[in-house]
Amino acid sequence: MLGRGLRGPQMLAFLPAICLAAYWGGGEALLVFCALTTPLLYALTGGFGRLPTDPTRSVGHRQTVESAAQEFLEIAQHNGQTTACFQLGISGLDDIAAGLGETVADEARQLLSARLASMLRETDELFQVGDKRLAILIAPGFRLKLDTLLDLAKRMRDVAEEPLSLSGTTRYVSVSVGIASSLTFGRNATAQQWLSSAAFALDEAIATGGSATRVWSDKLSRQRQSRRDLHHDIITALETGQIQAFFQPQIRVKTGDVVGMEALARWDHPTRGCIAPSEFLQAILDSGQMDRLGQTMLSQALGALQGWDDAGLDVPTVSVNLSGAELRNPDLAAHIATDLDRAGLGPARLVIEVLESVISGDTDDIIRRNLVALADLGCRIDLDDFGTGHASITTLQHFPIQRVKIDQSFVQRADRTDDKRRMLAAILRLTDTLELDALAEGVETIGEHGLLRELDCRFAQGFLFAEPATAADVTEWLRQHQARDAATGGAHLRRVK
């Protein structure tokens, strides 16, 4: 400890005393000599830190990202400096590999690494940490504040997202960034903690969607701990019925008639209250319980539909979202047919919703065969969150899609934004050309509803009509809604909670 205390830039505080002693002992000549040579001798003996004269050569030869990260952390802590780890997630490489081959995808990775390396300093480090991830370590310095890190992340994204010229074609990728600054950690932090924190920040950025950036913080740390806690509770939640199906109506735009209900998973946690899917779906996926969740949602959805039939309420269909893992089950269609038969419901009463990201660029023929089998059975197939993935027109024709659900990002404020209005109109023209129905998600205002009527969108869903609610609450909503329609001839539409 004494040795560490005697090394570092803080020792320059003793230089005036050394020079004064030299002046007293040998006059001005010795004072000048000490002032010039003492710092030089101290630096040459390594007193200012462990970085050599050419730090790039030393750190650049590290075998692993962990060893380089540990080196940077030690230097930063020793010298009172700051270092940062950037983890970059590259989206679009799978599409390049599927279309042009894995060799071209490797070429794309090399181009991206070269671009990023060209904007870094010689003392910084870049590592490939996965097929779709890069780690960049910023060498210790004194001015690595949050604004500087965010600006650097933006420049990294801009450089990486420039068009790629590959095999005579132009391809694009998108980049998400996770950042962990050494300032967030104590002196006992390890390289593994630092790197995993940046990786978790990247996971959060990817979950946000698009070219997002997230910085590791105490809040993110609490979120990670919260998700770990959910992992322990998830089995109990499925066994005790804490996870319930909530339902949101789907409306015919011109008349206000209910054309169906979408089942949405909600977790009624005993201590945390109602938890939305965005908080617990990853925990279910990580714990391998996605099939069980799907079965729970399907069972509750069919049970609710039976209840509405028994109550004399007109709900033509119920929609259930199936994950990619569920759609890869070879026995899926047979299981759903059995569940429908047990509930006494025809297949036409069930709508299967599939995320666009599940089928875009998919090479697993099991998914296509399952969807074809379900369509042949008589179920309807909806493509959910349309516009957020990369599904091509060929993909839409390759799968038995009957209706697309336009993502809310294209719908909200479309009546006030010309660009969104044009985009929404273009999507509706495309669906009309392909002879597909369209349902607009996330409708919240009368203005958005009016625009959908003007653009001849047939179906809509959103808070304007009703928020997701339990089957019992939806039953009361349906009674009020259908009683009002009977009294007015369905001539008006009003939000009812």
pLDDT for res 486: 67
Nearest to 258 by CA among 267, 249, 266: 249
Measured CA to CA in angstroms, residue 431 lies from 242, 402, 436, 494 at distances of: 38, 10, 5, 27
Give residue 294's identity as a one-letter amino acid code: G
Q: Which two tokens stand for residue 245?
A: 């199906």
Alpha helical stretches, state H, 241-276: none
Residue 294 near residue 326 (C-beta atoms within 8 A): yes
Query: What residue ranges do the domains of the chain occupy?
Result: 2-44, 55-216, 235-488
Q: DSSP code of 185?
A: S
**Residue 53's pLDDT is what?**
35
The amino acid occupying position 11 is: M
pTM of the model: 0.61
Q: How far is the C-alpha of 258 from the C-alpha of 305, rounded, in Å?
A: 13
Q: What pairing do the DSSP bridges indicate for beta strands 174-181 and 213-215?
A: parallel
Question: What is the DSSP pairing of strand 133-141 with strand 174-181?
Answer: unpaired
Kindly report the backbone phi and psi dihedral angles of residue 403, in degrees, each rounded to the nearest multiple of 5, phi listed first: -150, 145
What is the per-residue pLDDT for 21?
83
**pLDDT at position 457, please?**
96
Residue closest to 194 by CA, chosen among 207, 203, 185, 206: 185
Helix, strand, or coil here: 473?
helix
Render 86-108 in DSSP notation, one character per residue: EEEEEESHHHHHHHH-HHHHHHH
Report long-range pairs for 234-240 (Cβ below 8 Å, ≥24 apart): 234/280, 234/283, 234/284, 234/287, 234/289, 235/287, 235/289, 237/267, 237/269, 238/289, 238/292, 238/293, 238/296
Alpha carbon distance 127, 195 (integer Å): 12
Question: Measured between alpha carbons, how far is 32 from 210 in angstroms, rounded to an integer?
Answer: 60
The conformational region for residue 490 under phi > 0 = left, psi -120 to 50 = alpha, else beta, is: left
Contact 65, 195 (CB under 8 A): yes
Asked whether 459 and 253 are in contact (CB, 8 A), the reply is yes
Superfamily of chain region 55-216:
Reverse transcriptase/Diguanylate cyclase domain (3.30.70.270)
* Cα 346 → chain centroid: 36
- Spatial neighbors of 478 by CB under 8 A, at least 6 apart, are 249, 258, 308, 313, 314, 315
What are the structure tokens assigned to 231, written together? 């992992």
Cβ atoms of 359 and 395 within 8 Å: the answer is: yes
Token look-up 């008006």 returns: 492
Instruction: Measure the CA–CA gap between 108 and 195, rounded to whole angstroms.
Output: 24
Give residue for tokens 């990260």. Answer: 69
Q: Which residue's entry shows tokens 């690494």? A: 113
Q: H helices of 267-364, where?
A: 277-286, 290-310, 324-327, 332-343, 356-359
What CATH code would you report for 235-488? 3.20.20.450
Residue identified by tokens 């050394």 is 18
CB atoms within 10 A of CB 53: 8
Q: Rounded to 10 degrees, what is the CA torsion of 93, 329, 249, 266?
A: -80
Find the angle CA(216)-CA(220)-CA(221) to the nearest 5 degrees.
95
Q: What is the mean pLDDT of each run of 10 residues along the chain (497 residues)?
A: 50 74 79 77 61 37 80 90 94 87 93 94 92 93 86 93 91 93 84 91 80 83 66 79 93 95 91 78 77 92 96 96 89 95 96 86 75 96 82 78 93 92 94 94 96 96 95 94 69 40
